[in-house]
């Protein structure tokens, strides 16, 4: 029997070392931010100097799309501080094979950009809001303006997006007592709130999801586990139903979701990172600027994913010391 022919580099599926199929690209367009939250961006982080251009982002996404990537999320840093973010979004949304473009943002520029981003082809916004309190906002981020964030959220709610999610990183003794108010704020605007266990990239103490769910129930919120089409295919969140809508919980520490990982991450300078919880990378930017063909880029991508670990290992002793800051990875 003759051996099976080798897979063409640019043909789907795109699999990692564990046999998981990659369909989702998280693409950081900048590692700079106008907020510098304590759990994400340490004061010592200076940022990368050599960011990719819109044309280079489009080239990378085109190669990934040929290999089976169908969803792209633009992240940061804060992606909306790029003056060319609308061009980046338009180019990526127009790549053949890409059916879904999303952006994760702190909403500080959404009052101006919510409508234009939707017109550029963005179908989903994930908005970070950790508190409704000005004092707590200043505790988490000494920069930025809470009023501009709240105005941006309202602009997004009025812009007609197919999906809006409100992401909250829950920190013990900081904002864990605000969870009911944040749920109400999101549901009143047609958004799905999602509460994220703090990961070991910066300061703060996490609150386990199970504890948070029980606290909400004890406080009178009737949460019921959702039996609908949520789950790994929709991302790492697990959803519960409340009177106002869905409530999501993302639990990287206590309910590891690595077994269903379908994500590849590319940093703002073109470094491919096979896993959020590590430093291994492949310099796609150097290959592009060195004249690499699409096939050569695809081979480098497959080789990097061949080193992707089974899980993130966040809970292992000393893990935090081996991690880059969250804003240096792209979330």
User: What pLDDT score does 3 carry?
Assistant: 46
| Cβ-based neighbour number of residue 104 at 10 Å | 22
- CA atoms of 267 and 60, how far apart (whole Å): 11
**C-alpha atoms less than 13 angstroms from C-alpha of 204 in its C-beta half-sphere:** 28
Nearest one of 92, 93, 97, 105 to 23, comparing CA atoms:
97
Helix (H, G, I), strand (E, B) or coil at 92: helix
Arithmetic mean of pLDDT, 249-276: 82
Q: Please report where in the chains the tokens 């367009």 appear, as a residue.
A: 29
Mean pLDDT of the region 33-60: 80
| Residue 108 pLDDT | 97
Residue 282 has a pLDDT of 85
> Percent of the chain, pLDDT > 90?
67
Residue-level pLDDT at 4: 46
For residue 322, is pLDDT > 70? no
Of 79, 81, 89, 28, nearest to 54 by C-alpha is 89
Residue ranges of the annotated binding site for GTP are 26, 73, 104, 165, 263-265
Residue ranges of the annotated binding site for [4Fe-4S] cluster are: 33, 37, 40, 258, 261, 275
Mean pLDDT of 111-137: 98
Least confident range from 220-224, 265-269, 296-300, 312-316: namely: 312-316
Taking the C-alpha atoms of residue 330 and residue 64, their distance in angstroms, rounded to an integer, is 17
pLDDT 10s digits, 220-245? 999 999 976 654 345 689 999 999 99
Closest CA to 116 of 128, 97, 106, 103: 103
Q: Quick check: 317 pLDDT over 60?
A: no
* Residue 309: pLDDT band with limits 50, 70, 90: low
The mean of the pLDDT values for the chain is 87
| Residue 329 or residue 77, greater confidence | 77
Instruction: Give me the pLDDT at residue 301, please.
Output: 94
Q: Which residues are annotated as a binding site for S-adenosyl-L-methionine?
A: 39, 77, 128, 199
Place of tokens 């997004």: 156
**HSE-CB of 234 using CA atoms within 13 angstroms:** 14
Instruction: Report how far apart, in Å, the C-alpha atoms of 20 and of each of 16, 73, 241, 305 are.
Output: 6, 19, 29, 10
Residues 296, 277: Cα–Cα separation, whole Å: 26
Tokens read off for 134 = 């000005």
Of the candidates 192, 189, 191, 176, the residue with the CA atom closest to the CA atom of residue 136 = 176
| 178, 132 Cβ separation under 8 angstroms | yes
The Cα 267–Cα 28 span in angstroms is: 5
Return binding residues.
26, 33, 37, 39-40, 73, 77, 104, 128, 165, 199, 258, 261, 263-265, 275
Torsion sign, CA atoms 51, 38, 237, 243: negative
Task: Tell me what pLDDT residue 236 has.
Answer: 84
What's the rounded Cα separation, in Å, for the pair 199 and 189?
Answer: 28
Whether 260 has a pLDDT exceeding 90, the answer reads: no
Total length of the chain:
331
If one compares 259 and 159, the residue with the highest pLDDT of the two is 159
Q: What is the mean pLDDT of residues 249-254?
A: 89
End-to-end CA distance of the chain: 46
Structure-model confidence comparison of residues 3 and 308, the more confident one = 308
Which residue ranges form the domains of the chain, and what is each CATH number?
24-311+319-329 (3.20.20.70)
Q: Which of 46-60, 77-91, 184-198 has the lowest mean pLDDT?
A: 46-60
Query: 0.75 cut: is pTM over it?
Result: yes
């Amino acid at each position: 029997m003759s051996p099976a022919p080798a897979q063409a580099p640019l043909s789907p599926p795109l699999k990692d070392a564990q046999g998981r199929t990659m369909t989702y690209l998280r693409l950081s367009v900048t590692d700079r931010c106008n907020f510098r939250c304590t759990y994400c961006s340490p004061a010592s982080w200076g940022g990368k100097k050599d960011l990719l251009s819109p044309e280079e982002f489009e080239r990378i996404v085109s190669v990934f799309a040929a290999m089976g990537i169908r969803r792209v999320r633009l992240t940061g840093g804060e992606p909306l501080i790029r003056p060319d973010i609308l061009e980046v979004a338009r180019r990526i949304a127009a790549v053949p094979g890409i059916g879904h473009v999303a952006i994760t943002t702190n909403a500080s520029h959404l009052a101006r950009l919510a409508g234009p981003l939707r017109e550029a082809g963005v179908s989903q916004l994930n908005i970070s809001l950790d508190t409704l309190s000005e004092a707590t906002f200043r505790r988490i981020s000494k920069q930025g303006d809470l009023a501009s964030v709240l105005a941006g959220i309202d602009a997004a709610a009025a812009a007609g997006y197919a999906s809006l999610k409100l992401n909250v990183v829950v920190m013990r003794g900081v904002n864990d007592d605000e969870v009911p108010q944040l749920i109400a704020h999101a549901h009143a605007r047609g958004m799905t709130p999602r509460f994220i266990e703090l990961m070991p990239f910066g300061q703060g103490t996490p609150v386990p999801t199970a504890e948070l769910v029980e606290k909400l129930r004890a406080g009178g919120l009737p949460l019921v586990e959702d039996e609908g089409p949520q789950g790994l295919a929709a991302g790492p969140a697990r959803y519960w139903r409340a009177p106002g809508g869905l409530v999501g919980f993302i639990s990287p520490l206590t309910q590891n979701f690595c077994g269903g990982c379908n994500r590849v991450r590319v940093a703002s300078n073109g470094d491919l990172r096979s896993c959020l919880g590590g430093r291994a990378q492949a310099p796609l930017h150097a290959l592009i600027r060195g004249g690499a063909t699409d096939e050569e880029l695809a081979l480098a991508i497959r080789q990097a994913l061949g080193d992707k670990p089974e899980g993130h290992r966040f809970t292992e002793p000393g893990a935090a010391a081996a991690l880059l800051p969250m804003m240096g990875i792209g979330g």
